[in-house]
Chains A and B, each alone.
Chain A
Amino acid sequence: MKYIEPHAHMVSRVTDDYERMALAGCLAVCEPAFWAGFDRSSSAGFLDYFGQLTEHEPKRAARFGLKHFCWLCINSKEAEDVKLAEEVIALMPGFLDRPNVLGIGEIGLNKNSRNELRVFEMQVDLAAKQDQLILVHTPHLEDKFKGTRLILDALKSDRRIRPERVIIDHVEEHTVEWVLDAGMWAGMTLYPETKCTPARAIDMLENYGSERLWLNSACDWGVSDPLAVPKTALELAKRGHLAPAIEKVVLQNPRDFLRQSPHFKAAF
């Protein structure tokens, strides 16, 4: 089964994971900018990170025939420091024209603070001005319900934002309906303990249909599984879903959304 991994933090993974993903049928991997697991001490750390995402990582993926794309941002976990965020955001336009850049992401909220919301809106403004796609991270666990509501309110209040060009990631049963009703895309993240299991993600597909929904592993430096998407494809088959329906969720849907990016369209 061919598939696209629309959300994976490959800078935190070993090279063997690229090989395993290629063997499992992965055609392309998309890497949102993320928190490193520690706070960077200055914007210079982001300059290096954006270089890694746009220059080094595509070469590592290409060794296994995988196309590598990325999103750029300062993550909400580092957004409490607004001055740092302003410096990082000022760096981003210099990278947006690079051929593997898809847009601005994963922006969003973590603890739903005023500064996080301010930095989120600053990056939405950049996306609107530069006509970029937006990938949104919604908060973890007890903060997701409130954070998703704050994020949707902010996006819906900005008339420049076209909902079909926004993917709201890490939806669960208590947030998925809001996102789809807002006309945006929804990402279901298959992650141990937090977020979704394959069985629950498939429940949501069966309850809400497969329009504007995709699956991702969000594999990173934590305990996570870069093969979560093909494993969910297998679970879909076990539950009697036919190959064309499975392909729609794991290949066609991410391709349809991402082809709104001229960089993705030119390469894939």
Chain B
Amino acid sequence: MTRQQVLDLYFLDARHKLVELAAFLDRVERAGGPDDFRLKSFRQALAELNGRKRNRAKKVLLAFSDPTAKPVAQAHAKGASGAWNAAS
């Protein structure tokens, strides 16, 4: 596909998602209370969107990922929160 064709197919969808992201951050900052590990990872991931970098999706996923290598001693829960908590 040409860049024009990609824009024609996906621009409105991407614009919609970008406005949703902006509104989410406004909502979080309007609310009282401290940040948590998820928001910290989220801000790191956002930084990957700037400029003309390559592999942004991969870098965003890595910003949320557990970078350690050894198995944990025990699984204390079944679900995932979406961001790695270094303190857990």
Contacts and interface: CB of A to CB of B under 8 A. Distances in A.
Interface residues of B, number: 29
Given A113-B75, A141-B64, A142-B80, 5 more contacts: A111-B72, A113-B73, A114-B72, A142-B66, A174-B58
Contact of B64 (A77, A111, A142, A200): A142
Contacts of A140: 79-80
A173 B55 contact: yes
Contacts of B76: 111
Interface of B: 1, 5, 9-10, 55, 57-58, 61-62, 64-69, 71-84
Contacts of A113: 71-75
9 tightest A-B CB contacts, nearest first: A111-B75, A145-B65, A141-B80, A113-B75, A140-B80, A173-B58, A174-B61, A142-B84, A173-B57
A142 B57 contact: no
Contacts of B58: 173-174
Contacts of B66: 112, 142-143, 145-146
28 contacts: A35-B78, A111-B76, A111-B78, A111-B80, A112-B71, A113-B71, A113-B73, A113-B74, A114-B71, A114-B74, A116-B71, A116-B75, A117-B71, A140-B80, A142-B65, A142-B66, A142-B83, A143-B65, A143-B66, A144-B65, A145-B62, A145-B66, A145-B67, A172-B57, A173-B57, A173-B58, A239-B1, A240-B1
A80 B78 CA distance: 10
A199 interface: yes
Interface string A112-152: 11111100000000000000000000011111111001100
Given A142-B66, A146-B67, A172 B61 contact: yes
Interface in A165-196: 172-174
Interface in A7-27: none
A113 B76 CA distance: 9
> Which of A115, A142, A144, A203 has the largest count of B CB atoms less than 10 A from its CB?
A142
Contacts of A159: none
Contacts of A143: 65-66, 80
Interface SS majority for chain B: loop
Contacts of A115: 74-75
A100 interface: no
A112 B64 CA distance: 16
A110 interface: yes
Interface string A97-108: 000000000000
Nearest to B6: A239
Contacts of A199: 10
A35 B64 CA distance: 25
A110 B66 CA distance: 13
Nearest to A146: B66
B57 A111 contact: no
> Which of B5, B71, B73, B76 has the largest count of A CB atoms less than 10 A from its CB?
B71
A77 B78 contact: yes
